[in-house]
Chains A and B, each alone.
Chain A
Amino acid sequence: MIEARGLTKRYGSTVAVDRLSFDVRAGQVTGFLGPNGSGKSTTMRMIMGIDRPNGGSVMIEGRRYHDLPWPLREVGGLLESKAVHPGRSAFNHLWALAQTNAIPAGRVHEVLELVGLAAVTRKRAGKFSLGMTQRLGIAAALLGDPGVLLFDEPINGLDPEGILWVRTLLKRLASEGRAVFVSSHLMSEMALTADHLVVIGRGKLIADQPVADFLAQSSRASVRLRTPRPEPLTVALLEAGGSVDNEPDGSLVVNALSAAAIGDLAAALGIALHELAPKAASLEEAFMELTQDSVEFRAEGSDTTMPPTTGEFPT
């Protein structure tokens, strides 16, 4: 379990991470969501004792990172995938790390097998593709079989098969009782992988809640459709409570109705659909939504887990 309390990082006059407090619990995947430059990587580096916070603290299983007796056996991190000497082989890179924490060589082979690099253990890391480098970084994180895992943008550079593999891996690691903390700037990715979300914008906490709750709040999830008979369908959709936008390319974007409801409605009217594509709210849209919500909640004086965040977001 990771407990961040009032974590703050300043670079000169810029506040990169601003009094961030959250928990990452064991047995679930906690997504760490925020646009690029919002302070996710800085936060992860502070958790791993690499960057020193200007304020606040972060504890891992009740200890400061610096006081962990076997850091790699307790925390594994994929922070930057390219953090490998290009001339060193995959095996030797991991072996050098393993030796610091008295991890046996057998475990190095095990994790290389696990991430699918068993065939290239002697190949120089500089010759690796982006995806292979990413897998090597994941292998390094898993080296000490740790109970706490941090992954900074793990799907960067992976092909679709690799992305699916990472999703499965993250869920499995969590199901084994580990605390898994994964950052991403992709809302859609987090919706598929995470159980819980910590959302930040400009270094500040925006939300700390289960994924289901977060998604439910972002009502801007919409559906794109094409039909040869847009007029009667638009009328029907409006009657059913949806809102309809005409796009320049001739498609319609419907809000507030599910794809299933739209499909059923069209079928009932005998109107053909040529396309029906649910479009998840983008992170930016969800952010906008969330900002408005927090302002509304505040205006109503109701209790909310979200702190006031007016005027803090990029538009």
Chain B
Amino acid sequence: MTVAVTPARRVLPAGHYRFSGALRSEWTKLRTVRSTLWCLVATVVLGIGIGILATSSQASNWRHAGFIDKALFDPTSISLTGLLFGQLAMGVLGGLTMSAEYGSGSIRATFAAIPRRPVVLAAKAVVFGVMALVVTEAVSFTAFFVGQSILSGSTPTATLSQHEVLRAVIGGGLFLTVLGLVALGLAAIIRHTAGTITTFVGILLILPLVVSAFPARIGHPIGRYLPATIGSAMTSTTSEGAHDQFLPAFPFWHGFVILCAYAVGTLVIGGVLMVRRDP
């Protein structure tokens, strides 16, 4: 039997779509919107700029500082103060990486191209994570070196040859990166940019205020688990956390593992919901 029009048999490449393709696609998406650049600029400016302000004021006030302040002084932590402001920019960027697709509706085209949705989420997390780690580590090390050069001559300074110092400087970048991944996971759950950022800011800035209003007996055990507390402990050379009210803070690796658990938790919940819900 002959048919007037025979369906042209298209020749498909061998195999199937791959994770590497998803990675390339996500990298293209991330580098081709302006919000990425703005968030990175904000991270750099806040991370280094506020570090400069904080160390300058320490350097000029050192003579008038009390002996307790001098005893507790952590030159590493003070030079990394700006990173804790950069966390907002990183959170916005991590959130936008996911929520912008829901906002514009392009998530449907993405899911049509990659029907196995966890692949999409994993690719976003890897691409954002790698880019964030490179940028935030660069910011952390720059802020450290700039800060120490401002402090030198006025106050004690730190060098990377000290184990806790190197750990804290690396910790600054790790903290921001993993926090950005938490925001990405939150965005996969919430699916709205505004809602994601509000939640993120709430957890980071409002929750510590709420917890600090509790009696210390209740507040401190809870407060240790807040990302802000973990972050300030990770960027200081003492496990107490230089300037945090929820004591004792978790030691570096302990805090880092808890933070990673938050990221994995939100990403896994986000991934499960992504499969279950229609976009």
Contact = CB atoms under 8 A, between A and B. Distances in A.
B18 to A, nearest CB: 8
A126 to B, nearest CB: 9
B104 to A, nearest CB: 5
Contact of B32 (A65, A92, A147): A92
A93 B120 CA distance: 16
A263 interface: no
A82 to B, nearest CB: 6
Interface stretch (A49-57, A112-120, A185-193): A49-57
B264 interface: no
Contacts of B8: 147, 176-178
Contacts of A51: 278
A52 B7 CA distance: 28
B16 A27 contact: no
B115 A101 contact: no
Interface stretch (A66-74, A293-301, A305-313): A66-74
A252 B172 CA distance: 81
Choose among B24, B26, B32 the residue with the greatest number of A CB atoms under 10 Å from its CB: B32
B6 to A, nearest CB: 6
Contact of A88 (B10, B17, B33, B110): B33
A272 interface: no
Contacts of A80: 105, 108
A87 B34 contact: yes
A74 B157 CA distance: 62
A127 interface: no
A26 interface: yes
Contacts of A70: 12-13, 16-17
A83 B108 contact: yes
Contacts of A266: none
Contact of B7 (A73, A82, A147): A147
A97 B8 CA distance: 24
Contacts, number: 128
Contacts of B16: 69-70
B195 interface: no
A73 B3 CA distance: 24
A15 to B, nearest CB: 15
Nearest to A66: B115
A73 B112 contact: no
B34 to A, nearest CB: 5
B109 interface: yes
A101 B113 contact: yes
A124 to B, nearest CB: 9
Interface in A140-184: 140, 145-147, 174-179
A48 B101 CA distance: 18
Contacts of B10: 73-74, 145-147
Interface in B161-219: none
B112 A77 contact: yes
B279 interface: yes
B113 A85 contact: no
Contacts of B110: 97, 100
A71 B113 contact: yes
B254 interface: no
Interface in A261-300: none
Contacts of A49: 111-112, 115
Contact of B21 (A50, A87, A89, A101): A101
A45 interface: yes
Contacts of B104: 82-86
B108 A71 contact: no
Contact of B22 (A86, A100, A145): A100
A177 B109 contact: no
A75 interface: yes
Contacts of A96: 25-26, 28-29, 32
Contact of A79 (B5, B7, B24, B108): B108
Contact of A71 (B100, B101, B115): B115
Contacts of A174: 5
A293 to B, nearest CB: 30
Interface in B3-58: 3-8, 10, 12-13, 15-18, 21-22, 24-26, 28-29, 32-35
B159 interface: no
Given A73-B10, A146-B10, A147-B7, 8 more contacts: A26-B7, A27-B6, A66-B116, A70-B16, A83-B104, A83-B105, A92-B29, A100-B114
Interface of B: 3-8, 10, 12-13, 15-18, 21-22, 24-26, 28-29, 32-35, 100-101, 104-116, 278-279
Interface of A: 1, 26-28, 45, 48-52, 65-66, 68-75, 77, 79-80, 82-89, 92-93, 95-97, 99-102, 140, 145-147, 174-179
Among all A-B residue pairs, the 3 with the closest Cβ atoms: A69-B16, A27-B5, A26-B7
7 contacts: A50-B279, A70-B16, A85-B29, A89-B32, A92-B28, A100-B25, A146-B10
